[in-house]
Structure 1
Amino acid sequence: MSDRIDVHNHIIPPRYRARLDELGLTAGGLPSPDWSEDLALAAMDRHQIATAIVSVSTPGVHFGDDMRARHLAREVNEFAAELTERHPGRFGFFATLTLPDVEGSIAEAAYALDELGADGVILLANIGGTYLGDPAFEPLLTELDRRGTTVFVHPSKLPGPSAEGIPPYIADFLLDTTRTAVSLVRSGALGRHPNLDFILSHGGGFVPFAAYRLAMTSTFDADRTVDEFLGDFRRFHVDIAQASSPTALPTVLEFFGSDHVLFGSDWPHASDKGVAYFRTLYDELGLDSALRAGIDHKNASRLLRRNATTAHPATALS
């Protein structure tokens, strides 16, 4: 059995899917794929994934009504916790919160982390066009920092209309991740919350490729140096979902460092064919065993707050 931990793996609970269908919503232009417990386990076995840390993808659970969002978040999180309990060692989960409802998000984080045993929380990169470094979200970040929480950041639909012929999931998701990373760095949120560990999806969007430009241009209106900004950008962890190509992964590793890079598949939204394609690219890179072990499970094991891998001692989390 592989010891691989997949930190970017999605669930689509039936009642959550029904709500999306009712509202005509998609994951950034991508219709919800088939998902079931059996399909998930079979895909994990095909892709040598010992443990999947599951989460609900964009568009999350808040569709304009705080109370309905709180109810749906609770339902989704309890579904994930029950899945984890049925398959000890095969699943963990990042809890869904209710932003822009900050009060509800704080309450649901407490319940999910304390009562359900969540490994962390998932936040969308932007909520109605507001990015995570915005002062409106500071009370939530403060509480998550107090708890030493791992925060998985997933891209969402960019504010504003989509470009004709380019669904958001193709290119906009990468910009959305980059924007929220810049928002967190420029707002000083990373410095104020040293106990938060952020995992950015898809290799960090454009951050590893554009970090020096992002840092340098950020000095134009801030009393900080390029190196100070770069230091903040390097604090992020990233997953390699759709970022394990021979051109992308070396850049990701060079910028963030080998200890900040984690395995991710983005199944089932990436499709089984897509996951297989990028996993094959990853396997063909010829990384040395120590580097692969870090990406596959050791780096994740330092971030996850509960032992989600009881069934596979090789991946027991510290």
Structure 2
Amino acid sequence: MTENNRIDVHTHLVPSFWGEALPAHGGDPSGWTTPPWSPDAHLSFMDANGIATSVLSLTAPSVVGWKGSERREMARRVNEYTAGLVSDRPDRFGNFATVPLPDVDGAVAEIDYALGELGADGVVLLSNYEGVYLGDDSYAPVWEALNRHRAVVFIHPGHPLLPVLPGVPGPVVDYPFDTTRNAVHMAYNNVPLRYPDTKIILSHAGGFVPYAAMRFSLVRSLLNVAAGGPTPEEVLEQLRGFYFDTALSAGQATMAALTDFADPSRILFGSDFPYAPAALGTRITEVLDADSGLTAEQSAAINRTNSLPLFPRLG
């Protein structure tokens, strides 16, 4: 295990008030069990895995199941609770703020509050909200607000509008699929080009993006491209311009594809704790350290230094 210096950009909090209310607000459609969590348990996992700081986020299904003003209220409650954790331990915790999408007006207001008043380190979005992906024009006001704040945007997969495979909960394969689906949708709709001051992180090594990026870019030439639509070269440029975290992503084949495709300064450490329980998170991290074909310089960059330009206060 490395010295205690990692910055974990993909790790979650589970506030008790949110977890207890979730079943009455649609539950988790992915079929995954909401894990137990506490700040102390999180710190113990961090200490055991050489993690200096965890940038906390609320995972899917976020606050989508709440309706009307209750959705905005729950997002605000989560953000203020997380900000309190950061205030108590600014060296150990960061905050990706939750927004009440698909309520676009509410999301813009919460972005301004969380980044302007609470000092959040960034914003977490889901890959889709009720089947609408982030490249959709209806989300332009959200991206404009994020771009205005020069925000770090962590995109976590949401469950796609597909039935869960029997015996295969959504996080196993549907989440990487939805990350990929959304990334291509965003690139085809020029989101990174239109909002260049945002820094966008894709979960789980980008799903299948590094492996299939050439397919996604070259096939674009066969489609009817609307005026202003990206060329195949621009699609590839946008896909390579994302940041990628290593949550549940290790091993030589995975990291060979990722390090060959991605800008090497845009690969960031992620654990997925506590949805990846401590034993699994620790094992994935051990493989990342010792059996992923990374050089010492690559490991040091992934673990910490690649994150510092995104989160300068942690330097």
Query: Where on the TM-score scale, by shorter chain, does this alignment land: which range?
Result: over 0.9
**Which digits, 9 at most, give the CA deviation of each residue in 1:15-73, with x for residues without a partner?**
00111133351272111111001100000001110000000000001215131111000
Residue in structure 1 matched with residue 70 of structure 2 by the alignment? 68
Residue in structure 2 matched with residue 238 of structure 1 by the alignment? 244
Contact 2:245 / 2:269 at 8 angstroms: preserved in 1?
yes
**Which digits, 9 at most, give the CA deviation of each residue in 1:192-246, with x for residues without a partner?**
1111111000000000000000111122222643222111110100100111221
Shift of 1:280: 0.9
Select the residue among 214, 217, 222 that pairs with 1:215: 217
Corresponding position: 1:299 with 2:306: yes
**Which digits, 9 at most, give the CA deviation of each residue in 1:248-293, with x for residues without a partner?**
0111111012101000000000111211111111111353332112
Contact 1:27 / 1:57 at 8 angstroms: preserved in 2?
no
Describe the shift of the 1:224–1:24 C-alpha distance in structure 2 as closer, same or farther (beyond 3 A). Answer: closer
Contact 1:181 / 1:233 at 8 angstroms: preserved in 2?
yes
- Runs of 4 or more off by more than 4 Å in structure 1? none
Residue identity matched to 1:269: Y
Residue in structure 2 matched with residue 42 of structure 1 by the alignment? 44
Pairing 1:222-301 to 2, within 5 Å after superposition: 222=225, 224-284=230-290, 285=292, 287-301=294-308
Contact 1:96 / 1:121 at 8 angstroms: preserved in 2?
yes
What is the RMSD computed on CA atoms of the aligned residues? 1.4
Residue in structure 2 matched with residue 313 of structure 1 by the alignment? none
Residue in structure 2 matched with residue 173 of structure 1 by the alignment? 175
Give the Cα separation in 2 of the matches to 1:232 and 1:183.
11
Identical aligned residues as a percent: 38
Q: SS of 1:29's equivalent? A: coil
Residue identity matched to 2:299: R
Residue in structure 1 matched with residue 133 of structure 2 by the alignment? 131
Give the Cα separation in 1 of the matches to 2:29 and 2:161.
14
Q: SS of 1:92's equivalent? A: strand
Residue in structure 1 matched with residue 7 of structure 2 by the alignment? 5
Moved more, 21-30 or 142-151: 21-30
Q: SS of 2:308's equivalent? A: helix
Give the Cα separation in 1 of the matches to 2:295 and 2:211.
23
Give the Cα separation in 2 of the matches to 1:140 and 1:66.
18
Q: How high is the TM-score relative to the length of structure 2? A: 0.94
Residue identity matched to 1:13: P
Select the residue among 142, 145, 148 that pairs with 1:146: 148
Q: SS of 1:170's equivalent? A: helix
Q: How high is the TM-score relative to the length of structure 1? A: 0.93
Unmatched 5+ stretches in structure 1: 310-315
Moved more, 17-26 or 174-183: 17-26
Residue identity matched to 1:236: F
Q: SS of 1:302's equivalent? A: coil
Give the Cα separation in 1 of the matches to 2:241 and 2:133.
18
Question: How many residues are treated as equivalent by the alignment?
Answer: 308
Q: SS of 2:153's equivalent? A: strand
Residue identity matched to 2:54: A
Give the Cα separation in 2 of the matches to 1:192 and 1:22.
38
Give the Cα separation in 2 of the matches to 1:283 and 1:90.
21
**Which digits, 9 at most, give the CA deviation of each residue in 1:109-162, with x for residues without a partner?**
111111111110000000000000001101110111111111000001111322
Give the Cα separation in 2 of the matches to 1:27 and 1:11.
19
Give the Cα separation in 2 of the matches to 1:188 and 1:34.
39
